[in-house]
Structure 1
């Protein structure tokens, strides 16, 4: 089911993948360079409904409008806040999630919006090649149970670069920022995605 939602940042869109007997909603948004067709978002939408989790794939207003460049973080947060009533309408706890820039939005707004937990896919810990420009404070400030799923070769932050903190981190071996693995890697692309879906399925089951 596709739902359009008006926000102060423009018209957003939610593609729902409903669980037969839902107990949670996982709302995940895309990054600054792509949409909800991202391989990890599609894999989660296919896998989680069978485990009692309805998945809402969120397209930010800039993407719905056909623009190529994401707006400033403040505008992204505004769009996400405007979507929240639609995400909570089913009356279930909502896990705020996203990949890359979407993960930053989820972390920044989780406590304010009352998110049940945060799923951060490919959290951009720093710009490539600039580890001194850390965004760790956003991740550490989420204030709710948080799972980070990070590619082992992500130039925006490899797993070993993350600080200690109140979050769980799962590595996708050989994965880049989009969880793509090289053809020469000893793991297949399917196995890499299975690492993502298995980790999220296990983590979601552990949430109270």
Structure 2
């Protein structure tokens, strides 16, 4: 699985590192990369906004091509990511082939407080199956908001993490932890990958 980072944190953020570690524990090898704007931030320490979508997709597609060249023909290639990274993965999968599945971890259905600006217009064009793992408290898309858009989400399966926010952090009173929810997300990704296997 090629994992893309979110808008504000790099590929080696604690969330991304833990997610990659848990996916590896579930038998899913991962590749992480950074978009150009984040590479520049790493080089000079200056925060900057994400690149425009065409530039993000160009880099993502380049990484897909590079990884695909190293894999055996029968090896599944999944793409996904955290928030913006998962969204870019889904957009890329709606524009090109050579991808077996997409997993979005905390999908940004809309910007917080702006539910009228929905970000799923490309979903009907997906060329492969997609699974979204979403916290029930995620301000980028809660269960009741998503339910109102059910018809346009027909091509996508969503699994909800009870109490999780955008970073899969549960409420303090819950008998759970961010680590536990990330582990659950990795298991969901594993089951999704297995469902794609032929036979």
TM-score scaled by length of structure 1: 0.79
Pairing 1:185–2:177 present: no
State the Cα deviation string for residues 68-103 of structure 1 (Å, max 9, x = none): 221111221121122222121222331111111111
Distance in structure 2 (CA, Å) of the matches to 1:84 and 1:203: 19
Structure 2 match to 1:106: 89
- Consecutive unaligned residues of structure 2, counting only runs of 5 or more, are none
Out of 49, 65, 68, the position equivalent to 1:88 is: 68
How many residues are paired up? Answer: 183
Distance in structure 2 (CA, Å) of the matches to 1:178 and 1:51: 20
Pairing 1:59–2:34 present: yes
Out of 73, 76, 100, the position equivalent to 2:56 is: 76
Distance in structure 2 (CA, Å) of the matches to 1:207 and 1:40: 26
State the Cα deviation string for residues 136-187 of structure 1 (Å, max 9, x = none): 2133432311110011111110133223311111111111111122323342
- Consecutive unaligned residues of structure 1, counting only runs of 5 or more, are 1-25
Tell me the CA shift for residue 195 of structure 1: 1.8
The runs of at least 4 aligned residues of structure 1 exceeding 6 Å deviation read none
State the Cα deviation string for residues 119-147 of structure 1 (Å, max 9, x = none): 11111101111111111213343231111
Higher RCO structure (Cα 8 Å, ≥6 apart): 2
Tell me the CA shift for residue 46 of structure 1: 1.7
TM-score scaled by length of structure 2: 0.83
Distance in structure 2 (CA, Å) of the matches to 1:90 and 1:128: 39
Q: Is the 8 A contact 1:159 1:169 kept in 2?
A: no
Q: Is the 8 A contact 1:99 1:123 kept in 2?
A: yes
Distance in structure 1 (CA, Å) of the matches to 2:166 and 2:123: 17
**Richer in strand (by share):** 1
Structure 1 match to 2:12: 37
Q: Is the 8 A contact 2:81 2:89 kept in 1?
A: yes
Q: Which moved more, 1:46-55 or 1:195-204?
A: 46-55
Tell me the CA shift for residue 39 of structure 1: 4.4
Distance in structure 2 (CA, Å) of the matches to 1:188 and 1:48: 17
Q: Which moved more, 1:47-56 or 1:171-180?
A: 47-56
Tell me the CA shift for residue 29 of structure 1: 0.2
Structure 1 match to 2:117: 133
**Richer in helix (by share):** 2
